[in-house]
Amino acid sequence: MQTAFNFIIEIVFIYKTKSIFLEEPTTSVYHLEPPNIKQLAITDKTLSSPPLIDHISSGTLTEPSEKDLNLLFAPNKHYESTTLESRKSSANQTLKGSLIATNSGGIGSLVGRPLPTPASNFEYKKTFRLIIQNGSTKDQTEDFLQFRQFYCLMWGSIVTVLRILEKLMHDYAIPVAFINGEKVSELAQTIEFEHKPTLEELLSTLINRDEVEELIKKPGRRFFGSGGKERAAIAIQSFWRCFRDRRAYIRLRKRKWAAGVIALTWLTHVKLSKVRRQLKIIRNRQVDVFKTKQNELRRKWSSISTNRRVIVHIPSLGLSHRIRRKLNNLPVRENYQIGRLCDLDDSNVDIIYVSPMSINEEILQYYNKLMNLRSSIEQNTEQGSSSTVLNTSERFMIVVPEALHSFPMHNMCLATLLKYSPRALKRIKNLIKGRDAYIVTGVSHADDLYIAEYLDIPIFGCEPEVSYLYSTKSGSKRIFEASKVPVPFGEYDIYNQQHLLESLAQLIVEHLDVQRWLFKIDDDFDGLGIAYCDVVTYLPCYKNVLKEAARFGDKWSNRWAQEHSYAKILSELPDVLEQHTICVNKTEYNNWQDYLKVFLAQGGIVEAYPPSDSVTAITVCLSIEPDGHHTIICSGDHLHAESQFSCWGLSFPQSSVESHELNLYCAQIVEQCKQRDIYGYVDIDFVTFIDAKTDKQQIWVVDLSIGYSEHVSLSRVTRFVTTGHFDPQTHLFTTKVKQAKRLRNWQGSAPEYNTVERNRYAVWSSRLHHSNLSVLHYSVFFQMCRAHGVGFDIREQQGSVFTLLECDRHENIGMITIGDTLQNTLSNFAYNLNAINQEITTAITTKLVPHGQQKQIIDAQSEDKTAQDLVNMTILVPRSKAAIVVETRAEKVERKVLAQERKHERMVEQQKIAHHMENLMEKVLHETTLSKKDEDNLRSKIKTIMTKVNKESDKIDITSLHPSVIEHPSSSSSRIKLDSIGQSSQSNLPSKSLKTASQRAFLLWYDKNSQ
């Protein structure tokens, strides 16, 4: 039974095997094309085949001949049959379904024949040359059979590579390709790790790579083979679908991007609108709180102003961002108002000063001494009692915001920096807790409302929007028109060029005597937005217009008489303005077009410049209190330095105009300010000149500034150190001075003193700048001033006081000079400037410059531009017809004496410089190798200079001075002269009183270590 079953199984197996082996393969197993493609034979490897290019050119790639076929399919001595193997991934797998067909057709031999294995006696060949012709591998060549036998263990991977190569040759219609078997095997090893071969790796297996690569790189080559049209159609369709889909994708992406942008913009708009609404609500709430606090302050002002209170001083310049970003010294400008500390002259006032700059111990010590000086002046002693000193030191506090250096590129005003300084705000709130307090700002800013709300105290001033509106040039014109005060001829609220030209042409026609016209930008600051043009000088038709005006006479004021001249002027104005307009701020506005662009964007005014050669500008500082009363704090004539349209300093009080006229105009302007809810500190600018037509003094009101100014600050310092009083009715500043009574010969007791009132004048400026000041410590600077007699006399209440502004570079300082007459005060101020400049600037600087074998001595003073900063500051003494006073004989003699003294002082300084130069030249000659001729030339020049200086000094006889000066050395000018010479008259006297007076005169300049 078992035997029969085994026999049946054997018969079935033999039958199935026979039926499979008898099937004749029509194509190569390596061929990738359909079975109908005819296989071409190739010659034996021993035959030399021509290159691929020759085959293509000669057309020899045809069907092989019969001889070639017999040669190709001749039986091999090693293999009697043609072997077919299925292509598997590994040669180690079982030969499943592999069949062997022999020529004899014996079934038993087919079954009993073993699988081919690598022959042990096979001779290794370095190169197996395989052939792929027309996309089919020649699998019956001797090299192929040997290659398959040698790599039978990895045949599956090799077959995969050959398939890929066949497809590549078939797609690109490559006639014949010769393959390096060794490289195929190397590439097949990477296939086993699932690595897809690249084109470069496939081409590296070719022996005739250059020819094949040249054909493959030809455009459209891959469509030359069989089925190329179909592949081309597929490619075209693919490219079209790619283009179509990409275009649709790009359109979709653009729409998606646009939708995203629109959505993001909308969300941003919604959020910004929400933030704006919230900010508007906050601003409205802050304004409501401000108005509520203002009403409360208005009701309680009478009690607050007379009782103990705290003033929070915030010297902020809340200018527009356009202006602030152009000011590179904004913190220094804000600190010009550090004199606010001198509000301590009221014993009921405590000060909290928010500093826009860092404060070091040196500056704090100086202001402590300055505050303590008040008691010394009042008691006319060296210093006040210890209780008074302690009380003064405790009554002011300087707070520095922590955000001072957090926004270095934004140029924020002090109010904004304080808003972002929570610790400083909390400290101020703790200091004013439970006390009456109010804020005094500078130029109002919206952040002032936030600070006031946080501190829960009122602001001594007006609403920021109101302040900004009426501080502009056009806004102030509205107040002046309503006040019916005299103003310059002009036009305001100009926002387009046509309006500018038409209004200017009409003004020129109506006022032919005005030579210069001014253009002012509405919101600019400190004269930086002013331009001017002498239109009449450069207007070609001006003479004809004058003739027309003379011909019409009194009828010239009618518009019909002016039409022809108006048209002429209007046509010529653009060219005149383009070529001859001068901008005051040349760094910001290079030409008329740059200025005009900002002018029209911000708005501006056109006004006439006073038709006179001598014009004096005046500033009156007022305080409009919450209860409606106003007080004139100070008035002064302008001192100009960099520009005639910028106020560099003031001479206080003003002496150019009758005081009752100024008071009348100020009262009219204040009434209009109160109607517009403008309170706080206000500066009104006037100009005065002699009218050529009437030969009378004319006054124009030109500007209005709302906010605390540096002039108010310096006037506080002046009043503080002199205990003086400014009379707003007469515009006189007086102080009470103790004067010794004249004793008879028989009275030998101590001298008695009585108090008399003396007029005092002051000249001040906060804008003294010199780069060399940064190399000096303040203590050295004060010792230098003391050596030159620059100081303050407590007993006489005249002299000079400084305001220190910064501690880092300290290149800027302020100075106040106080004297008994305006002429003396101006002279002393100029002398102080000259003395400071000479000390901090090297008079003669020599440099030895090698040039070959010679050395040249160079004067470096001319190269140092900053050394002339103080010297180049021009002081224009205000003069007008009303200010001319007839001199008495004594005053004339005194003026000549003072002039003689100043000349003598100049000669002494020249002698010092000459001696210094002589010593320096001797040192140079000693240390430098010069020729005898050069040395003699230098010595002769020095000798000539010294001779000239000595001759000039011999002309001045110090004994010829007026006896009053010799007998009264306590006078201001005489004291300065003696101190500058060497203080010989005082140092030789052993009197204790003189020593005490000397110490008292320079009390400010002593340090603790030197006392």
Phi, psi of 458 (to 5 degrees): -80, 170
Nearest to 447, CA basis, from 316, 313, 293: 316
Residue predicted with more confidence, 924 or 698 = 698
CB 650 within 8 A of CB 711: yes
Per-residue pLDDT tens digits for 403-448:
998 888 888 999 999 999 999 999 999 999 989 999 999 999 999 9
Cis peptide before 653 (omega within 30 of 0): yes
CB 802 within 8 A of CB 813: yes
Residue predicted with more confidence, 723 or 51 = 723
Question: What band does 857 get if pLDDT is binned at 50, 70 and 90?
Answer: very low
Mean pLDDT for the chain overall = 75
Average pLDDT over residues 273-295: 92
Q: Measure the CA–CA gap between 502 and 954, rounded to whole angstroms.
A: 66
Average pLDDT over residues 63-81: 36
Q: Measure the CA–CA gap between 720 and 713, rounded to whole angstroms.
A: 11
* pLDDT above 90: residue 81: no
Residue predicted with more confidence, 443 or 644 = 443
Residue predicted with more confidence, 676 or 737 = 676
Question: What band does 742 get if pLDDT is binned at 50, 70 and 90?
Answer: low
Q: What does the buried/exposed string (b/e) look like for 27-43 if buried means 16 or more CB atoms within 10 Å of the residue's CB?
A: ebebbbbeeebebbbbb
Q: What is the residue type of 902?
A: R
Residue 203: Cβ within 10 Å count:
17
Question: What band does 707 get if pLDDT is binned at 50, 70 and 90?
Answer: very high
CB 682 within 8 A of CB 666: no
Return all residues near 197 (Cβ < 8 A) that are at least 6 apart: 161, 164, 187, 190, 191
Per-residue pLDDT tens digits for 178-194:
999 999 999 998 877 77
Report which secondary-structure segment, H or E, holds 764: strand 761-769
| Residue 352 C-beta-side C-alpha neighbours within 13 Å | 24
Per-residue pLDDT tens digits for 949-987:
666 555 544 333 333 333 333 333 333 332 332 333 333
Nearest to 449, CA basis, from 431, 434, 426, 467: 467
Average pLDDT over residues 561-570: 89
Angle at the Cα of 530 from the Cα atoms of 524 and 536, rounded to 5 degrees: 155
Question: What band does 581 get if pLDDT is binned at 50, 70 and 90?
Answer: very high
Average pLDDT over residues 106-127: 44
CB 680 within 8 A of CB 707: yes
* pLDDT above 80: residue 301: yes
Question: What's the pLDDT score for residue 921?
Answer: 66
Residue 407: Cβ within 10 Å count:
12
Q: Measure the CA–CA gap between 727 and 288, rounded to whole angstroms.
A: 38
Report which secondary-structure segment, H or E, holds 155: helix 155-171
| Residue 807 C-beta-side C-alpha neighbours within 13 Å | 13
* pLDDT above 90: residue 943: no
Question: What band does 1007 get if pLDDT is binned at 50, 70 and 90?
Answer: very low
CB 297 within 8 A of CB 311: no
First to last CA, the chain: 141
The two tokens of residue 468 are: 């900004």
Question: What's the pLDDT score for residue 893?
Answer: 61
Q: Measure the CA–CA gap between 655 and 636, rounded to whole angstroms.
A: 8
Q: Measure the CA–CA gap between 301 and 628, rounded to whole angstroms.
A: 10
* pLDDT above 70: residue 789: yes
Question: What's the pLDDT score for residue 299?
Answer: 92
Residue predicted with more confidence, 463 or 748 = 463
| Residue 307 C-beta-side C-alpha neighbours within 13 Å | 9
Question: What band does 518 get if pLDDT is binned at 50, 70 and 90?
Answer: very high
CB 190 within 8 A of CB 69: no
What DSSP string describes 92-110? Answer: TS--TT-EEE-SS--HHHH
Report which secondary-structure segment, H or E, holds 833: helix 822-840
- Mapped onto helix, strand or coil, the DSSP state of residue 741 is coil
Question: What's the pLDDT score for residue 750?
Answer: 56
Nearest to 659, CA basis, from 916, 994, 948, 883: 883
Question: What's the pLDDT score for residue 951?
Answer: 61
Average pLDDT over residues 768-774: 86
The two tokens of residue 902 are: 């100043």
Question: What's the pLDDT score for residue 393?
Answer: 73
Question: What's the pLDDT score for residue 312?
Answer: 95
Phi, psi of 879 (to 5 degrees): -135, 140
* pLDDT above 70: residue 711: yes
Average pLDDT over residues 86-104: 33
* pLDDT above 70: residue 126: no
Burial class (CB in 10 A: 0-12, 13-18, 19+), 737: buried
- Mapped onto helix, strand or coil, the DSSP state of residue 216 is helix
* pLDDT above 90: residue 11: no
Question: What's the pLDDT score for residue 882?
Answer: 36
The two tokens of residue 396 are: 């002011």
* pLDDT above 70: residue 721: yes
Q: Measure the CA–CA gap between 35 and 940, rounded to whole angstroms.
A: 122
Least trusted range by pLDDT, from 85-94, 810-819, 885-894: 85-94
Nearest to 867, CA basis, from 847, 845, 889, 894: 845
Residue predicted with more confidence, 616 or 392 = 616
**Which span out of 30-44, 102-116, 216-230, 310-324 was modeled with the highest average pLDDT?**
310-324
* pLDDT above 90: residue 102: no
CB 817 within 8 A of CB 825: yes
Question: What's the pLDDT score for residue 928?
Answer: 64
Percent of the chain with pLDDT over 90: 40
Question: What's the pLDDT score for residue 737?
Answer: 81
Per-residue pLDDT tens digits for 899-929:
677 677 777 776 777 676 667 667 666 666 6
Report which secondary-structure segment, H or E, holds 453: helix 446-455
Nearest to 520, CA basis, from 546, 502, 500: 500
Average pLDDT over residues 460-486: 93
Average pLDDT over residues 536-563: 86
Question: What's the pLDDT score for residue 748?
Answer: 52
Residue 164: Cβ within 10 Å count:
17
Phi, psi of 120 (to 5 degrees): -75, -30
Residue 605: Cβ within 10 Å count:
22
CB 351 within 8 A of CB 343: yes
The two tokens of residue 373 are: 């000086």
* pLDDT above 60: residue 668: yes
Question: What's the pLDDT score for residue 161?
Answer: 92
* pLDDT above 80: residue 69: no
Q: Measure the CA–CA gap between 535 and 609, rounded to whole angstroms.
A: 11
Question: What's the pLDDT score for residue 380?
Answer: 60
Percent of the chain with pLDDT over 70: 70
- Mapped onto helix, strand or coil, the DSSP state of residue 542 is helix
Least trusted range by pLDDT, from 92-96, 307-311, 420-424: 92-96
Residue predicted with more confidence, 107 or 752 = 752
Average pLDDT over residues 760-781: 88
Q: What is the residue type of 125?
A: K
Q: In terms of DSSP H, where are the helices of 581-658?
A: 592-602
Return all residues near 653 (Cβ < 8 A) that are at least 6 apart: 634, 635, 636, 726, 731, 732, 733, 761
CB 87 within 8 A of CB 65: no
Average pLDDT over residues 209-230: 86
Question: What's the pLDDT score for residue 488?
Answer: 93
3-state secondary structure 256-297: HHHHHHHHHHHHHHHHHHHHHHHHHHHHHHHHHHHHHHHHHH
Residue predicted with more confidence, 463 or 220 = 463
Average pLDDT over residues 629-647: 89
Q: In terms of DSSP H, where are the helices of 511-654?
A: 535-538, 542-552, 559-580, 592-602
